[in-house]
Amino acid sequence: MKISGSYTVPAPRERAYQLLQDPGILAKCMPGTDQLHKLAEDEYDMKMKVVIASIGGQFGGKVRLEDQHPPESFKLIVEGSGKIGFLKGEGLLNLAANGDLTEVSFDGEVQVGGTIASVGQRLLDTTAKLIIKKFFQKLSEVANN
């Protein structure tokens, strides 16, 4: 599944970039995630509890940051698996300055497997969008504080 879009983060580009590299901030913004434990440089262990309406599931996995070109772009790689399935997402995030704001655009591909892939086709697109939206909403809150 291809995923792309863009959000405006209320922070200058340098700061927006820093926020997006900070495991504490990422953990705060990823829905259902409490914290990220460092496994290696720019690689973190992740536990995520996704609850959307009645659908809920625990995922365990990794978050990795790669190809960093501060403050312009980096690659975000997320891998997770749980009882209801597994996912692997890879996306390129581009940050463009817009005065005091930053336009974050992303373009990536998510592979989903297991039960959610097989029976959740109708829901994948809308729920993925919802999770991303929640992430950026939270990021905006953090940036505003």
Partner 1 sequence: MIAENFEYSAPTKLDDALRQLSNEDTKVLAGGMSLIPLMKLRLAAPGQLVDIGRIADLNFIHEEGGTLRIGATTTHYQVENSPLVRSRCPLLAEAASHIGDLQVRNMGTIGGSIAHADPAADYPASLLALEARVALVTAKSKREIPIADFFVDTFTTALEPGEIVHAVVVPVEDQSTGTSYQKVLQPASGFAIVGVAARIRKSGGKIAMARVGVTGLSGKPFRATQVEKALEGAAGSPSEIQKAAALVSDGVDANSDLHASADYRKHLARVYTMRALAIALSRTA
Partner 2 sequence: MATTITKSDTLVGKRIRRREDPRLITGTATYVDDIQMPGMHHAVIVRSPHGAARIKRINIKKAQELPGVAAVFIGKDTEKVGPVPCGASLPGLRVPHHHILAIDRVYFVGHPVAVVVATDRYIARDAADLVEVDWEPLPTVTDPEKALAPGAAAVHPEWPDNTAFTYHQEGGDVDKAFAQADVVVKQRITSQRLIPSAMETRGVVAEWHTGDRALTLHSSTQIPHLLRTILAQMLGLEENRLRVVTPEVGGGFGSKLNVYAEEALMGFVAMKIGKPIKWIESRRENFTCTIQGRGHVDYYEVAAKRDGTILGIKLKLIQDLGAYHQLLTPAIPTLSVLMMPGIYNCQNIRADIVGVFTNAVPTDAYRGAGRPEATHGIERMVDILAAELKMDPADIRFKNFVSNDAFPYATATGLTYDSGNYAAPLVKAMDMVSYKKLRQEQAQARTDGRFLGIGISTYGEICALGPSPATPAGGWESATVKIEPSGKVTVMTGASPHGQGEETTFAQIAADELGVGIDDVLVVHGDTAIVQYGIGTFGSRATAVGGAAMYYAIQELKEKIKKYGAMLLESDNVSFANGACVDNKTGKSVPLAQIAAASYRAMKLPPNTEPGLVATYFWEPPNFTFPFGAHIVVTEVDRETGAIALKRYVAVDDCGKIINPLIVDGQVHGGVVQGLGQALWEQAVYDDTGQLITGEFMDYALPKASNIPWLETGHTETPSPVNPLGVKGVGEAGTIGCSPAVVNSVVDALSPLGVRHIDMPMTPEKIWNLVQAGGKA
Give contact residues for partner 2 (rule: CB under 8 A).
83, 85-86, 111-115, 117-119, 121-122
| Token pair for 77 | 């790689």
Q: Residues 36 to 55: which contact partner 1 by CB under 8 A?
A: 52-55
Contact 1, 124 (CB under 8 A): yes
The entry of partner 2, partner 1, none near residue 19 (CB within 5 to 8 angstroms by kind) is none
Residue of 63, 109, 62, 56 lying closest to 83 (CA atoms): 56
Nearer to partner 2, 12 or 85 (CB): 85
DSSP string spanning 43-93?
Answer: EEEEEEEEEETTEEEEEEEEEEEEEEETTTEEEEEEEEEETTEEEEEEEEE
Nearer to partner 1, 84 or 97 (CB): 84
Contact 63, 36 (CB under 8 A): yes
Nearer to partner 2, 75 or 88 (CB): 88
- From the list 41, 122, 144, 145, which residue makes contact with partner 1 (rule: CB under 8 A)? 122
Nearer to partner 2, 63 or 112 (CB): 112
Contact 76, 91 (CB under 8 A): yes
- CA 112 → CA 36, 81, 85, 120, distances in Å? 22, 10, 7, 10
Find the shortest distance in angstroms from Cβ 128 to partner 1: 10
Q: Which window, 19-27, 38-46, 64-72, 115-123, contacts partner 1 (CB under 8 A)? A: 115-123
The entry of partner 2, partner 1, none near residue 92 (CB within 5 to 8 angstroms by kind) is none
The entry of partner 1, partner 2, none near residue 117 (CB within 5 to 8 angstroms by kind) is partner 2
